[in-house]
């Protein structure tokens, strides 16, 4: 029975050691991810390790897909990621990416996209954003948007309150830009990007809901209705003055911060990178995280967001599973230590019992010898 108990304890050590060897790598990775959950740069690196291990061709396939979609900027972002991760990319594919980037950055392409942004107010790259921002700085774009949406509001028609609020905020920021000789321009560019993302349906649902609520707070609806009733793009000065009276500057702090964060993303990743972040963001905190990610990862940011989605910014679900890995590792370690303790105690007890038995046998032999001597001839 004694040796059965020792064998059971030894079996427990072997079983717990095997389980710990299986669980420990997952627990270590889970612990690292949980520790990095407030650092988008570190979190994305850890998640990339796991994603890229699963598919050796993942980067190459995404480069091909980006080129097929006409997105040379995204393809170039994946090339930057491949270089950083020492992932081999065929030379002919690198040449195709280089040619596509050169074409996208050519003077003729830039001029065409600039004109498109200036006229339509829609931006999806640096050139078109430049045209859109120029239009907004000269109040053409914002006046157009405010008058259009304001008239819808006055007539009881469907109104995009978000575009309306962003345009009104843009007019106020534009005035501040001129007063500060460009100091507020980054906010202006960020608000333009948010407005454009809304127009083309690339604004995340959660972020759109939050921005919509914020936009309602910055606009005095009755005053705006009166302003747009007689407003016109052909009379921008008069219209802007009337609209500015309906803008509540004290309520615009959250939108201004959003504009700054969007601009931080665009400065590091380009216009399309900012659009990508607005698409996956569910709130202003996500955009702030995207700005931190962009500042840390630079040109690789678009590729990272393409592979990880919102998971590049924060833990999206899975936190419970990660915690379970840690709990399993702790439980297995506790079982291993308990088995070691039980084995040590039982071996020690067996050794003590053996020594005690030896002492008893020696004492018994000595006693029998003494009796034999005493019983001998006198």
- Structural domain including 1 reads 1-37+318-378
Q: What is the pLDDT of residue 12?
A: 76
My answer on whether 310 and 354 are in the same domain is no
Q: What is the pLDDT of residue 179?
A: 39
320-363 per-position pLDDT tens digit: 566 676 677 787 888 878 888 888 878 888 888 788 888 888 88
My answer on whether 24 and 113 are in the same domain is no
99-157 per-position pLDDT tens digit: 998 887 766 655 566 556 555 555 555 455 555 555 555 556 677 777 777 677 667 77
> Rounded to an integer, what distance in angstroms lies between the CA atom of residue 313 and that of residue 273?
14
38-66 mean pLDDT: 87
**Per-residue confidence at 196, pLDDT binned at 50, 70, 90?**
confident
C-alpha dihedral (110, 261, 257, 147), degrees to nearest 10: 30
Q: What is the pLDDT of residue 291?
A: 93
229-251 per-position pLDDT tens digit: 555 544 555 555 666 666 676 77
Of 286, 317, 348, the last residue of a domain is 317
Q: Work out how many domains the chain is built from and give that number.
A: 2
Higher pLDDT, 155 or 98: 98
* Residue 42: Cβ-neighbour burial (10 angstroms; 0-12, 13-18, 19+): middle
Q: What is the mean pLDDT of the chain?
A: 76
Domain annotation covers residue 258:
yes
Helix/strand/coil (H/E/C) assignment for every residue in 92-138: HHHHHHHHHHHHHCCHHHHHHHHHHHHHHCCCCCHHHHHHHHHHHHC
With 80 as the cut, is the pLDDT of residue 6 above it? Answer: no
My answer on whether 164 and 306 are in the same domain is yes
For residue 333, CA distances in Å to 21, 85, 181, 319, 363 come to 10, 34, 64, 21, 45
Rounded to two decimals, the pTM is 0.67
Domain annotation covers residue 227:
yes
Domain annotation covers residue 65:
no
Of 270, 299, 317, the last residue of a domain is 317
Domain annotation covers residue 278:
yes
My answer on whether 279 and 290 are in the same domain is yes
Q: Evaluate whether 44 touches 33 at the Cβ level (below 8 Å).
A: no
288-322 per-position pLDDT tens digit: 999 999 999 999 999 999 999 888 887 665 565 66
My answer on whether 204 and 243 are in the same domain is yes
My answer on whether 176 and 30 are in the same domain is no
Element (H, E) at 14: helix 2-35
């Amino acid at each position: 029975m004694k040796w059965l108990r020792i064998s059971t304890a030894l079996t427990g050590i072997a079983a717990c050691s095997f389980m710990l060897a299986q669980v420990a790598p997952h627990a270590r990775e889970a612990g690292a991810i949980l520790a990095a959950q407030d650092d988008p740069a570190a979190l994305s690196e850890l998640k990339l390790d796991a994603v890229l291990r699963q598919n050796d061709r993942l980067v190459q396939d995404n480069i091909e897909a980006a080129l097929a979609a006409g997105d040379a900027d995204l393809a170039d972002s994946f090339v930057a990621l491949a270089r950083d991760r020492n992932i081999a990319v065929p030379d002919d594919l690198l040449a195709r990416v280089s040619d596509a980037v050169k074409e996208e950055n050519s003077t003729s392409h830039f001029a065409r996209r600039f004109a498109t942004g200036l006229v339509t107010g829609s931006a999806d790259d640096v050139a078109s954003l430049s045209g859109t921002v120029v239009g907004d700085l000269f109040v053409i774009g914002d006046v157009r948007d405010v008058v259009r949406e304001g008239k819808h509001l006055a007539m009881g028609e469907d109104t995009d309150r978000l575009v309306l609020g962003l345009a009104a905020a843009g007019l106020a920021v534009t005035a501040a830009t001129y007063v500060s000789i460009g100091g507020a321009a980054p906010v202006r560019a960020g608000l333009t990007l948010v407005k454009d993302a809304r127009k083309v349906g690339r604004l995340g649902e959660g972020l759109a809901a939050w921005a919509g609520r914020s936009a309602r707070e910055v606009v005095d609806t009755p005053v705006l209705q009166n302003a747009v009733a007689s407003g016109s793009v052909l009379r921008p000065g008069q219209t802007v003055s009337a609209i500015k009276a309906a803008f509540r500057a004290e309520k615009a702090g959250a939108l201004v911060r959003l504009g700054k964060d969007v601009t931080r993303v665009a400065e590091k990743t380009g216009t399309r990178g900012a659009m990508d972040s607005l698409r996956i963001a569910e709130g202003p905190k996500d955009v702030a995280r995207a700005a931190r990610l962009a500042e840390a990862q630079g040109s690789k940011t678009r590729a990272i967001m393409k592979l990880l989605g919102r998971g590049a910014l924060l833990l999206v679900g899975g936190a419970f599973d990660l915690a379970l890995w840690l709990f399993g590792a702790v439980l297995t370690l506790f079982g291993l230590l308990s088995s070691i303790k039980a084995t040590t105690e039982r071996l020690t007890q067996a050794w003590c019992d053996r020594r005690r038995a030896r002492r008893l046998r020696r004492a018994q032999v000595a006693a029998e010898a003494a009796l034999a001597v005493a019983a001998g001839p006198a």
